[in-house]
């Protein structure tokens, strides 16, 4: 604290030692330095605002302002918030940033384009400006729909010339970006096409094409409806009739099935529909009221009161004989005011000419239930006797058809089977027994021949001096016997090999005993 006081005291003493002129010079220098620094700071921090976007929709302007605030970029608003201005040095950079983020506003110019026209605008310039303005207004109108996020309209308007014999039709193409939560309906597309066709001169609906951002044609069904042939119309009428019949069948079956059983009721409906469109005009006249009356009478000795009091129709001249024989003329004209009523009646196609309903019930129906079923069908189908409607209800008992088979035929068939068995069974048994005996004899003879052949072959082998092992092998092959080798068998073979003469004698004696 003391150092501060010493410093301030030294500065004050030094200031007091300066003369008046030096003090003024020093104060002026300090003020000049402050002013220069402030000017430099103001100049460096000064924002030169330039137009970023003009004539924006309020929704687009709100999005841009929100993004500017988030990026801490200073801005100014003009034209009730539709014009946005930012630092001139940041305009291009910020526009590129918006384009990269997909936030560029879909701005379109409408008829306000004529607000800035000057005196030197040519007729061709006006035509171009008019087309641009009309395109912009159509884009705004289409984008005002709830389901449309953005729209682009292209108009082709041919030039008119006095030398043309036929007017060329205009055409239009529309690109729609639909909001993700919305669906495109045929009615919406038809409405957009009608809007554009009605706003542009000489533009028929068939010359308006609508696509989405994926390139799908959305207005194709309009051309299909206009190019339908007679066959297509008949097919469509047939489809309408079948759909109507199915709905009636479903309604009747639902009512009857819940009461009489779903699996017991079958319903069929045949509808005769009138697809002719009729238009009638009926005029009815009534309540004739006299509007004016004109009476003329001429001749001698005529009593006007007596003449006018007679029963005389309109527009009729009467001749009345006077008292002295002079001819007299009388004319009465009455103009009547007649009330009229005109009624226009347009009959839409699809009128029901006649409806035929058939119901089949699986089972027996009492008369009471039959009447109830007919009443239910009549109420569900809107039965009209004057129209010629028919309701047919039939009950069919399928189990009764099986029970009605003639039992006498069954009994007669059983008797024929029994008689046939009694007559032919002995013959069948004899034939079967004979065949079995022949088969047994055949097999016995075959086995004996085979055995005798094997013995002869064995004797021949022995006579030729074949070994016992070879002979046994041939016997096994001839009889197809599978010989299992065991220890005892091996011992017997070894003995036979050592004593072949003894083994041969044993085999001969065994064959003789078997023979």
**Cβ atoms of 54 and 85 closer than 8 Å:** no
Yes or no: say if 251 and 329 are a contact pair by the CB < 8 Å rule: no
Cα-only R_g, the chain? 61
In this predicted structure, what is the pLDDT of residue 407?
Answer: 52
pLDDT of residue 390: 92
What CA–CA distance (Å, rounded) separates 230 from 236? Answer: 10
Q: Is residue 115 part of a domain?
A: yes
315 has pLDDT over 70: no
Percent pLDDT > 90 in the chain is 6
Number of CB atoms found within 10 A of residue 423's CB: 9
Are 357 and 248 within 8 A, CB to CB? Answer: yes
Structure tokens at 428: 């069948």
- The per-residue pLDDT for 185 is 86
Q: For 415-424, what is each residue's pLDDT tens digit?
A: 676 776 767 7
Dist CA 282 CA 20 (whole Å) = 117
127 shares its domain with 37: no
Asked whether residue 195 is domain-assigned, the answer is yes
* Residue 204 is assigned to a structural domain of this protein: yes
Same domain flag for 292 and 383: no
Residue 219 has pLDDT above 80, yes or no: yes
Average pLDDT, the chain: 76
Domain extent at residue 94:
49-101
Residue finishing a domain among 194, 209, 227: 227
Backbone CA torsion sign across 317, 320, 325, 326:
negative
Span 254-309, pLDDT tens digits: 888 888 888 888 999 998 888 777 777 888 877 777 777 777 777 665 555 555 55
* Predicted confidence band of residue 318 (pLDDT cuts 50, 70, 90): very low
| In a shared domain, residues 122 and 152 | yes
Tell me: do 174 and 291 sit in the same domain: no
Which is more confidently placed, 481 or 143? 143
Give the pLDDT confidence score for residue 484 in this predicted structure.
52
Q: Which of 203, 227, 251 is the last residue of a domain?
A: 227
CATH number reported for the structural domain that contains residue 207 in this entry: 3.30.300.30
Q: 220 and 256: one domain?
A: no
- What does the block give as tokens for 438? 């022949």
Mean pLDDT of 93-113: 71
Q: Which of 90-94, 127-131, 194-198, 468-472 has the highest mean pLDDT?
A: 194-198
Contact 170, 202 (CB under 8 A): yes
Domain-located, residue 310: no
Residues 113, 130 contacting (CB under 8 angstroms): no
- The stretch 5-32 carries a mean pLDDT of 77
Query: Among 44-58, 154-168, 254-268, 450-464, which is the least confidently predicted range?
Result: 450-464
Boundary (domain end) residue, out of 206, 227, 248: 227
CA distance 59 to 105: 9
Whether 412 maps to a domain, the answer reads: no
Taking residues 324-352, report their average pLDDT: 72
Residue 319 pLDDT > 80 = no
Query: Is 449 a domain residue?
Result: no
Total domains in the chain come to 5
Same domain, 254 and 363: yes
Residues 208/200, Cβ–Cβ less than 8 Å: no
For residue 330, how many C-alpha atoms fall within 13 Å in the half-sphere facing its CB?
21
Q: Are strands 390-396 and 351-362 parallel, antiparallel or unpaired?
A: parallel
Judgement on whether residues 64 and 212 belong to the same structural domain of the protein: no
**What integer pLDDT is reported at residue 209 of this predicted model?**
92
Residue 217, both tokens: 């044609």
220 and 289, same domain (yes or no): no
Question: Is residue 480 domain-resident?
Answer: no
Same domain, 267 and 366: yes
Per-residue model confidence as pLDDT tens digits over 226-255: 555 566 677 778 888 888 888 999 889 888
Mean pLDDT lowest for which of 184-188, 218-222, 490-494?
490-494
Quick one: 93 and 121 in the same domain?
no
Examine the domain organization and report whether 248 and 392 are in the same domain: yes
Distance from C-alpha of 281 to C-alpha of 341, rounded to nearest angstrom: 10
The answer to whether residue 506 sits within a structural domain is no
Q: Rounded distance, CA 251 to CA 341, Å?
A: 42
Round to whole Å and give the CA distance between 245 and 355: 9
Residues 147 and 182 in one domain: yes
What are the residues whose beta carbons fall under 8 Å from the beta carbon of 280, sequence distance 6 or more?
Answer: 343, 344, 345, 346, 347
């Amino acid at each position: 604290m003391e150092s501060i006081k010493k410093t301030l005291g030294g500065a004050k003493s030094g200031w007091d030692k300066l003369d008046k002129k030096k003090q003024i010079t020093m104060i002026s220098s300090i003020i000049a330095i402050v002013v220069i620094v402030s000017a430099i700071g103001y100049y460096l921090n000064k924002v030169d605002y330039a137009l970023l976007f003009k004539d924006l929709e309020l929704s687009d302007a709100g999005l841009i302002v929100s993004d500017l605030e988030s990026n801490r970029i200073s801005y100014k608003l003009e034209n009730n918030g539709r014009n946005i201005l930012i630092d001139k040095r940041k305009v291009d950079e910020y526009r590129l940033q918006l384009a990269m983020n997909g936030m560029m506003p879909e701005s379109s110019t409408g008829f306000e384009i004529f607000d800035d026209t000057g005196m030197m605008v040519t007729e061709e310039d006006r035509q171009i400006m008019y087309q641009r303005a009309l395109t912009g207004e159509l884009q705004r109108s289409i984008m005002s729909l709830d389901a449309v996020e953005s729209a682009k309209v292209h108009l082709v308007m041919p030039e008119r010339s006095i030398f043309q014999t036929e007017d060329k039709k205009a055409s239009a193409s529309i690109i729609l970006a639909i909001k993700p939560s919305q669906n495109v309906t045929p009615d919406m597309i038809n409405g957009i096409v009608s809007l554009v066709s009605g706003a542009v001169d000489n533009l028929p609906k068939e010359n308006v094409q609508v696509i989405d951002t994926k390139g799908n044609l959305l207005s194709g069904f309009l051309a299909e409806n206009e190019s339908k042939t007679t066959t297509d119309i008949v097919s469509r009428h047939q489809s309408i009739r079948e759909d109507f019949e199915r709905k009636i069948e479903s309604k009747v079956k639902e009512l009857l099935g819940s009461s009489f059983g779903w699996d017991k009721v079958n319903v069929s409906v045949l509808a005769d529909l009138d697809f002719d469109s009729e238009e009638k005009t009926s005029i009815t006249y009534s309540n004739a009221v006299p509007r004016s009356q004109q009476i003329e009478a001429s001749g001698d000795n005529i009593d006007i009161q007596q003449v006018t009091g007679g029963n005389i129709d309109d527009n009729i001249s009467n001749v009345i004989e006077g008292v002295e024989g002079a001819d007299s003329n009388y004319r009465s004209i009455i103009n009547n005011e007649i009330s009229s009523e005109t009624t226009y009646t347009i009959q839409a196609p699809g009128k029901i000419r006649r409806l035929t309903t058939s119901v089949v019930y699986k089972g027996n129906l009492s008369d009471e239930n039959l009447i109830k079923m007919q009443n239910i069908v009549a109420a569900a189908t809107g039965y009209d006797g004057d129209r010629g409607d028919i309701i047919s209800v039939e009950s069919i008992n399928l189990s009764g058809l099986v029970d009605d088979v003639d039992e006498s035929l069954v009994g007669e068939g059983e008797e024929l089977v029994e008689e046939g068995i009694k007559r032919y069974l002995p013959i069948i048994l004899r034939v079967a027994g004979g065949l079995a005996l022949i088969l047994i004899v055949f097999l016995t003879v075959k086995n004996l021949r085979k055995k005798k052949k094997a013995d002869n072959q064995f004797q021949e082998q022995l006579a030729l001096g074949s070994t016992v092992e070879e002979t046994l092998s041939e016997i096994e092959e001839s009889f197809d016997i599978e010989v299992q080798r065991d220890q005892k068998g091996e011992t017997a073979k070894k003995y036979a090999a050592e004593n072949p003469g003894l083994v041969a004698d044993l085999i001969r004696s065994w064959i003789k005993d078997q023979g």
